[in-house]
Amino acid sequence: MLIPALDLIDGHIVRLKQGDFNEKTVFDLDPVAKVCEYAADGAALIHIVDLDGAKDPQRRQVELISQMVKASSCPIQTGGGIRTYEDVKTLLDLGVKRVVVGSAAVKDREFGKKLLRDFGAEAICLALDVRIEDGVAKVATHGWLETSELTLEQLIDEFMPEGLAHVLVTDIAKDGMMQGANNSLYASLAQKYPQLDVIASGGISCLDDIKALKNLKATSCVLGRSLLTGAFNLKEALTLWPNDATA
């Protein structure tokens, strides 16, 4: 599945480079209109990152996310600074299909497991951001400021028995750089976890990048900056990688 993504700051669509708030591009686009456009173009899921919420949960853009959910005919998954059980419940109550949980579930794995048990595998997406160190994918947390000793595979293996079905994997070095995805990483994950919806995130710059990921048997891919800058449009991308309604 190809998943168009929108990052939000103060009601505006933005893109960051490698998660750096000082490397921000603001797009003069209406977020509600944009999700409707993506839905009309054939999206089966839209990924929303609330960067205000990521910095300060008290500033979560709940009203805007609610408007986007109501306006879009396409399901929405969202995250950004999800730290509590109530954060998850609030977003699901708004009508969000799936909540993306990252650092909180990595730092407190029992919390992450409880979310999967209580809300179900289809309501939770585990976000694991990685730095590649000596060929090993290590998980970073807290806005990528901290790198743990935990590897990507260790965390996936720990959550799988709790029903983990969706995991968003971002190679920090690739994010927002428009230099292609980390294909070797996603190929390895597709081979080791064929039953898991691994959502590739970071680096897609052209249609050839999409073809390459699809050929690796990746299950899903997030498209952010490439769509917003007009490198290609969603309809073009979907001709190469049609949606799988079961993802």
Q: Are 172 and 202 in contact (CB under 8 A)?
A: yes
Rg (CA), the chain: 16
DSSP letters of 37-48? HHHHTT-S-EEE
Whole-number Å distance between alpha carbons of 164 and 193: 11
DSSP summary character for residue 52? H
What's the pLDDT at 71? 96
Q: Tell me, what amino acid is at 238?
A: L
Q: What integer pLDDT is reported at residue 146 of this predicted model? A: 60
Report d(CA 80, CA 55) in Å as an integer: 8
Strands 146-151 and 136-141 come out as antiparallel
Domains in the chain: ranges and CATH: 2-240 (3.20.20.70)
Question: Which residues lie across from 5 on neighbouring strands?
Answer: 47
- ∠ CA 15-21-24 to the nearest 5 degrees? 40
Catalytic sites, residue numbers = 7, 129
Q: What is the pLDDT of residue 247?
A: 42
Digitized pLDDT (tens) for each residue of the chain, 247 residues in all: 999 999 999 999 998 876 667 778 899 999 999 999 999 999 999 999 999 998 888 899 999 999 999 999 999 999 998 999 999 999 999 999 999 999 899 999 999 999 999 999 999 999 999 988 888 888 887 655 566 678 999 999 999 999 999 999 998 876 555 566 889 999 999 999 999 999 999 889 999 999 999 998 889 999 999 999 999 999 999 999 998 644 4
User: For residue 167, what is the enclosing H or E element?
Assistant: strand 166-171
The 10 Å Cβ neighbour count of residue 177 is 15
Amino acid identity, residue 18? Answer: Q
Q: Are 35 and 6 in contact (CB under 8 A)?
A: yes
Nearest to 75 by CA among 107, 45, 42: 45
Closest CA to 101 of 71, 122, 81: 81
pLDDT at 122: 97
CA of 159: how far to CAs of 65, 149, 186, in Å? 28, 17, 18
Number of other CB atoms surrounding residue 233 within 10 Å: 15
Measure Cα distances from 183 to 71, 139, 146, 169, 217 in Å.
Answer: 35, 17, 24, 12, 11
Contact of 6 with 29, CB cutoff 8 Å: no
